[in-house]
Structure 1
Amino acid sequence: MNTSQLKVLTYNIHKGFSQFNQHMMVHELREQLREVGADIVFLQEVQGMHSKHAEKIDNWPDGSQQDFLAADVWQSTSYGSNVIYDHGHHGNAILARFPIEHSHNQDVTHHRFERRGLLHCAINVPGLEKALHCVCAHLSLFARSRRRQLDALAGYLENIADPDSPLIIAGDFNDWRNEADELLAQRLGLCEVFGGAYGSPGSPGRSFPAKRPVLRLDRIYVRGFSVTHAEMHFGDPWSKISDHAALSANLLHDNCGDVR
Structure 2
Amino acid sequence: MVRPHFRPSQLAAPTSILTPHLRVATYNIHKGVRGIGRAKRLEIHNLGLGVEALDADLVFLQEVRHFNHHEAKQFQRTSFGWPEQSQAEFLAPEGYEVAYRTNAVTKHGEHGNALLSRWPIGDIGHHDVSDHRFEQRGLLHVPLIWNGLEVHTIVAHLGLIHASRVRQVERLAEYIATAVPPHVPLVVAGDFNDWGSKLDGPMRRTGLHRALPPNGKAPPATFPSLVPVFSLDRIYMRGMHCVGMKVPRGGAWVRMSDHLPLVAELELGEP
Aligned-pair CA distance for 1:204: 3.1
Change (3 A) 1:196 1:181: farther
Query: Quick one: which amino acid aligns to residue 104 of structure 2?
Result: V
Pair 1:228-2:243 in alignment: yes
Aligned-pair CA distance for 1:163: 2.9
Is the contact between residue 213 and residue 244 of structure 2 (CA under 8 Å) also seen in structure 1? no
Structure 2 equivalent of residue 153 of structure 1: 172
Is the contact between residue 211 and residue 234 of structure 1 (CA under 8 Å) also seen in structure 2? no
Pair 1:142-2:142 in alignment: no
Query: Quick one: which amino acid aligns to residue 247 of structure 1?
Result: L
Structure 2 equivalent of residue 8 of structure 1: 24
Is the contact between residue 192 and residue 204 of structure 1 (CA under 8 Å) also seen in structure 2? no
Is the contact between residue 210 and residue 235 of structure 1 (CA under 8 Å) also seen in structure 2? no
State how far apart, in whole Å, the 2-side matches of 1:198 and 1:236 are.
27
Structure 2 equivalent of residue 206 of structure 1: 221
Structure 2 equivalent of residue 97 of structure 1: 118
Structure 1 equivalent of residue 71 of structure 2: 53
State how far apart, in whole Å, the 1-side matches of 2:107 and 2:258 are.
25
State how far apart, in whole Å, the 1-side matches of 2:249 and 2:259 are.
8
Structure 2 equivalent of residue 64 of structure 1: 86
Change (3 A) 1:19 1:192: farther
Is the contact between residue 40 and residue 95 of structure 1 (CA under 8 Å) also seen in structure 2? yes
Aligned-pair CA distance for 1:207: 1.1
User: TM-score under structure 2 normalisation?
Assistant: 0.87
Change (3 A) 1:40 1:103: same
- Structure 2, unmatched stretches of 5+, are 1-16
Change (3 A) 1:194 1:236: farther
Is the contact between residue 34 and residue 40 of structure 2 (CA under 8 Å) also seen in structure 1? yes
Aligned-pair CA distance for 1:132: 0.9
User: TM-score under structure 1 normalisation?
Assistant: 0.90
Is the contact between residue 26 and residue 59 of structure 2 (CA under 8 Å) also seen in structure 1? yes
Query: Quick one: which amino acid aligns to residue 44 of structure 1?
Result: Q
Aligned-pair CA distance for 1:71: 4.7
Q: Which moved further from structure 2: 53-62 or 169-178?
A: 53-62
Query: Quick one: which amino acid aligns to residue 66 of structure 1?
Result: A
Query: Quick one: which amino acid aligns to residue 84 of structure 2?
Result: D
State how far apart, in whole Å, the 1-side matches of 2:152 and 2:180 are.
8
Count of residues paired in the alignment = 249
What are the superposed Cα offsets for residues 106-135 of structure 1, whole Å, 9 maximum, x if unpaired?
11111101111111111122331xx21101
- Structure 1, unmatched stretches of 5+, are none
Structure 1 residues 23-62: aligned runs within 5 Å: 23-58=41-76, 59-62=81-84
What are the superposed Cα offsets for residues 164-217 of structure 1, whole Å, 9 maximum, x if unpaired?
2101000000011212211222222x2222254462xxx532111011111121
Aligned-pair CA distance for 1:30: 0.7
Is the contact between residue 214 and residue 242 of structure 2 (CA under 8 Å) also seen in structure 1? no
**After the TM superposition, which segments of 4 or more aligned residues of structure 1 sit over 4 Å from their partners?**
none
State how far apart, in whole Å, the 2-side matches of 1:71 and 1:52 are.
26
Is the contact between residue 4 and residue 127 of structure 1 (CA under 8 Å) also seen in structure 2? no
Structure 1 residues 49-198: aligned runs within 5 Å: 49-58=67-76, 59-74=81-96, 76-128=97-149, 131-188=150-207, 190-194=208-212, 196-197=214-215
Is the contact between residue 18 and residue 147 of structure 2 (CA under 8 Å) also seen in structure 1? no
* Identity in percent: 39
Query: Quick one: which amino acid aligns to residue 12 of structure 1?
Result: N
